[in-house]
Structure 1
Amino acid sequence: MLNAAPPFQADPDRVVFDRRELGLILSVYGRFVAAGEWRDYAMSFLKEVAVFSVFRRATEHPLYRIEKRPRLRASQGIYAVIGMDGRILKRGHDLVQVLRVLDKKLIRSVE
């Protein structure tokens, strides 16, 4: 008799994006892919931060990083969008509001 695989258990030592957060991020990512601006992404789930990085090409440095840092929940905000140069473009408690900073980049690139 084969042993059934154990049920999936989240690693309590890692920060991850939940299904809703990932859906919001992938929605923005899809719009940029459709516009021909982005072509690849990577996700990292570390002890203190979850990171969704977007790339124009896979061999480049990320254009933007979308980070989730639960330790900043009480102060600056759990979410941040960080540019290629390391500047924080937007930080806050609401992922939808934080991701809106990227919409401005899409409108500018289409014009």
Structure 2
Amino acid sequence: MTVFDKLLAAFGLNKPSQNAAPKKGDDLASMRALVRKRQRLQDAFIVSDKMIKPRPCTLLDMTPLGGAVEIWDETLKAGLLTGEVTLYLPADRKEVVCAVKWRRDNSYGLKFLTPMREPTRAYR
């Protein structure tokens, strides 16, 4: 053990060995590569090529790889949100192309396919 490792151990900053078994108190959520953190609820718009106009929704949570939204319009047919959809965040004035990964009632899980970009159309 080097002097540097001893200092790290003294301050509790040493890395656990890779062979060490997980502690009993560790939960699976903390061991995930990207932990989904609940964001403040943000207004957003979602649109696909099959829709005439963007539909308002609420961004529930988000990671760098995707997010979950709840669509306000209960009469929206699920078939309109197949394939690629675009999510627009007016607070950031950015949009992102997404793929729908799951659906539960009016909530949809989205996987981001592109990075955030400037809007390509008018929303509202």
Higher strand share: 2
In our comparison, the structure showing a higher alpha carbon Rg is 2
TM-score of the two chains, using structure 2 as the length reference: 0.27
Higher helix share: 1
